[in-house]
Amino acid sequence: MRGRRPRARETTMTYRTCAVSVLLALGVAASPLAARAQYPDHPIRIVLPYAPGAAGDVAMRQIQPLLEKRLGQPLIVDYKTGAGGNIGALEVARAKPDGYTLVLGATNNFVINQFLYRKLGFDPLTDLEPVGKLADVPAFVYVSAEVPATDYARFAQYARAHAGKLNYGSPGMGTTPHLSGYRLSQAMGAGMTHIAYRGSSPGVQALLANEIQMYIGGYSIAAAYMPQGRVRALAVAAPERFAGLPDVPTAAQAGMPDVVQGNWWGFAAPKGTPPERVARFAEVLHEVLALPEVRQAFLAGGFVPGQDTPAAFAASWRNEAPQWQAVVRESGVVLDN
């Protein structure tokens, strides 16, 4: 009898051990699903590394209530400006990778700035996790109404004939409009002088006053002046015409060299964020951007809804990096934070 009790205890302990092991195994197997179901369980902070009113901010505000409804939690937009967006992006790169801190950045933050700045402080490809593209912002080539050209061919001819005498503007050094304007000026043999403004609004005002003769930017910044004939749009750098300005040809249709690039905005998380949380946010973003009312609202603002998966968005970072690296090197622009 004395020998049986230990065996009974051993058997009981063995059953308990097995039961615990099975439950643990089931828990491990179900944890991604559980994490997916539970995320998010508190507000998500969206760091926007630019001032309120930036294109990404406008697009984000249009879909924020729809995202919040599907996620079941508020999205807190936190503006962290400075150093061309590097301060906000760096903060997210160093944040806890739990899915509750994301950055809403532009092409510069994820691709261009690493080649522009002497010390960026982080590597977008190794320190950030692409989540999804919010929107493309097709670039229009605007010219002053004082320029005697109604299409690209005539403008290129005029610019060459006045080489070194014309100006183009941008919302800042190293921005996509600046670098695109530089490349177009070079392609035309125009030797145009670049003037950097503190944002799009003063640049467009300079275009209206003919202080600059060319400005590259989105639909919303200057399209309102076209009906009065105060500016002209010669082309849009996009695969197809923009529905808001259907009479403006694409760059290819206008015979313009493929040197002008539009901007885009998207979300990224700190590297190491659980993939199921990245997938959850990306899935909700994709659903919202596919809604007809969102497409209509984006059209009015000059945006094309992004429909990238996290993998496709990551691929665009890698594919565009060498192109922009070459452009920055050619332009000779180097910036300090």
Distances from the Cα of 240 to the Cα of 42, 56, 215, 266, angstroms:
41, 22, 20, 21
Classify residue 291: in a domain, yes or no: yes
Same domain, 146 and 243: yes
Express each pLDDT in 299-328 by its tens digit.
999 999 998 899 999 999 999 999 999 999
State the pLDDT at residue 69: 98
Classify residue 8: in a domain, yes or no: no
Classify residue 64: in a domain, yes or no: yes
> Which of 185, 219, 254 is where one domain is finished?
254
Same domain, 115 and 60: yes
CA 125 to the chain's CA centroid = 14
- Tell me the residue range of the domain where 128 lies: 44-136+263-331
**pLDDT-based confidence at 77, cuts 50/70/90?**
very high
Residue 49, phi then psi, degrees to nearest 5: -80, 25
More confident residue, 25 or 157: 157
State the pLDDT at residue 172: 93
pLDDT higher than threshold 60 for residue 248: yes
- Take residue 271 and report the two structure tokens written for it: 């590297």
Question: Is the link from the previous residue into 124 a cis peptide, with omega within 30 of 0?
Answer: no
Same domain, 166 and 232: yes
Least confident of 3-12, 176-185, 186-195: 3-12
Same domain, 189 and 235: yes
pLDDT higher than threshold 60 for residue 180: yes
In the chain, % of residues over pLDDT 90? 87
> Which of 254, 282, 298 is where one domain is finished?
254
Classify residue 149: in a domain, yes or no: yes
pLDDT higher than threshold 50 for residue 3: no
Classify residue 16: in a domain, yes or no: no
pLDDT higher than threshold 80 for residue 38: yes
Same domain, 79 and 221: no
Contacts of 218 (CB under 8 A, 6+ apart): 55, 137, 138, 139, 140, 200, 262, 263, 302
Classify residue 95: in a domain, yes or no: yes
State the pLDDT at residue 336: 87
Same domain, 162 and 94: no
Express each pLDDT in 159-170 by its tens digit.
999 999 999 999
Instruction: Residue 282: give its domain's CATH number.
Output: 3.40.190.150
**pLDDT-based confidence at 30, cuts 50/70/90?**
very low
Classify residue 12: in a domain, yes or no: no
Q: Cβ distance 282 to 133 under 8 Å?
A: no
Least confident of 60-64, 320-324, 333-337: 333-337
Strands 304-305 and 139-144: unpaired
State the pLDDT at residue 8: 45
More confident residue, 94 or 53: 94
Same domain, 151 and 236: yes
Number of domains in the chain: 2
Instruction: Residue 209: give its domain's CATH number.
Output: 3.40.190.10
pLDDT higher than threshold 80 for residue 5: no
Classify residue 147: in a domain, yes or no: yes
Express each pLDDT in 203-214 by its tens digit.
999 999 999 999
Same domain, 132 and 160: no
The whole-chain average pLDDT of the chain stands at 91
Over its C-alpha atoms, the chain yields an Rg (Å, rounded) of: 26
Express each pLDDT in 223-244 by its tens digit.
999 999 999 999 999 999 999 9
**pLDDT-based confidence at 4, cuts 50/70/90?**
very low
> Which of 254, 273, 298 is where one domain is finished?
254
- Residue 303 DSSP label: -
Same domain, 67 and 126: yes
CA 281 to the chain's CA centroid = 16
Same domain, 186 and 326: no
Same domain, 69 and 164: no
Same domain, 235 and 316: no
Strands 214-217 and 167-170: parallel
Express each pLDDT in 97-152 by its tens digit.
999 999 999 999 999 999 999 999 999 999 999 999 999 999 999 999 999 999 99
